[in-house]
Structure 1
Amino acid sequence: MLPGDELVAVYDAGGTVVGRARRAEVRASGLWHAAGVVLVRSGDGTRVYVHLRSPDKDVFPGAHDCWAGGVVAAGETPAECARRELAEELGVEGVSPVPLFTHVFDVPPIRCHNFAYEVRWDGPIVHQPEEIVDGGWMPLDDLYEWARDPRGPLVPDGRVGLLEWFRRFG
């Protein structure tokens, strides 16, 4: 299957699945979709894993992100997506992501319901080289400073989610 050919779940503005479409069509037409995203915190909760996205990513290439995640596939739940993406992108398996909240990112052409989860992890991190160039652990205070800067290095949708996380839990 070529990139962009996979079928993803199409949502409405209210967050309900209403169909499916090719990923390329979702991107080109600005269709509502969803993502399962996971914040990976150290076991003691003081640090978050932040990674640098590949320059080949179709959305926000070359930016930093603190959420492992991706688009919900057709027939997949956001929780299934979160577990799948966590394993694919960072090699983190054997943990159950805890649901946190859902936040909307509506900056056309990206219109997405982000289902946010969290895990605690002190094991090895193994990057998916097609999607992640580099990464490392960042103290919460430093990450908060990045999140507060709208011109900072974080992906825009991840920044919105992180600010919501700090509002609720930080």
Structure 2
Amino acid sequence: MGETIAVYDRAGREIGSAERSVVYAEGRWHASAGVLVRSLDGERLYVHRRTETKAVFAGMHDCLAGGVLGPGEDPAGAAIRELAEELGIVLEPGDEPPLPLAKASWDGEWLGAPMRCHLFAYELRYDGPIRHQPEEIADGWWWTDAELRAHLDDPAWPFVPDTRVLIEDMLG
């Protein structure tokens, strides 16, 4: 049996759960939460490339460290969990939590199958060490907003399509 994730309706309400593979195969609505990591001065953001072994958007770039929500999981809690898992940024008691940045719904397609996701983006200001989870993150870089925009202007540049719907709300 595979990983169980939360299933949502089109309006963004959690309505149950199912195995991740079933949710993806049937194009069911689900939710993900991610964190945009910005330098303390706000001048740079962290962009990473996903590993080639990821089930979805393999080898593509993203500026959100994130993942899908489990049953009953709060988006803010999921964002903090994913930040620790993917980039090794562990928040301690008393640390400022990531702040809500943007949300949207993406009704798209991946490899010919429908994919529908409610997206919750947060932002964290951070200048400490980053430690990639090797199963999920292949590489990463600190870029300015302008550098990311220049890459996004190239339609052939492999960037995850769901995060693209949040870009205008996330970048300065």
Q: TM-score, normalised by structure 1?
A: 0.92
Distance 1:28 1:85 in 2: 23
Q: Aligned residue for 1:102? A: 103
Within the candidate set 51, 62, 65, 2:62 is matched to: 65
Q: Which has the higher helix share?
A: 1
Query: Do the aligned partners of 1:147 and 1:162 also contact (CA within 8 Å) in 2?
Result: no
Q: Aligned residue for 2:148? A: 143
Aligned residue identity for 2:17: R
How many residue pairs get matched? 164
Stretches of structure 1 that go unaligned for 5 or more consecutive residues are: none
- Shift of residue 131, structure 1, vs aligned partner: 0.4
Q: Once the two structures are superposed, what CA deviation does each residue of 1:110-130 show, in whole Å capped at 9, x if it has no partner? A: 100001100011000000000
SS, match of residue 141 in structure 2:
strand
- Shift of residue 139, structure 1, vs aligned partner: 1.2
Query: Do the aligned partners of 1:11 and 1:18 also contact (CA within 8 Å) in 2?
Result: yes
Segment of structure 1 superposing worse, 53-62 or 102-111: 102-111
Aligned residue identity for 2:106: F
Query: Do the aligned partners of 2:64 and 2:163 also contact (CA within 8 Å) in 1?
Result: yes
Q: Aligned residue for 1:131? A: 136
Stretches of structure 2 that go unaligned for 5 or more consecutive residues are: none
Give structure 1 regions of 4+ aligned residues with deviation exceeding 4 angstroms: none
**Alignment RMSD:** 1.3
Within the candidate set 142, 149, 162, 2:167 is matched to: 162
1:5-154 maps to which residues of 2 (within 5 A)?
5-94=2-91, 95-108=96-109, 109-154=114-159
Aligned residue identity for 2:99: V
Distance 2:158 2:168 in 1: 14
Q: Once the two structures are superposed, what CA deviation does each residue of 1:18-69 show, in whole Å capped at 9, x if it has no partner? A: 1111111111111000001110001111111011100010111001111000
Aligned sequence identity (%):
53
Distance 2:155 2:117 in 1: 19
SS, match of residue 157 in structure 2:
coil
- Shift of residue 16, structure 1, vs aligned partner: 0.6
Q: Once the two structures are superposed, what CA deviation does each residue of 1:104-162 show, in whole Å capped at 9, x if it has no partner? A: 11114210000110001100000000001111101111112223333323111122222
Distance 1:71 1:54 in 2: 17
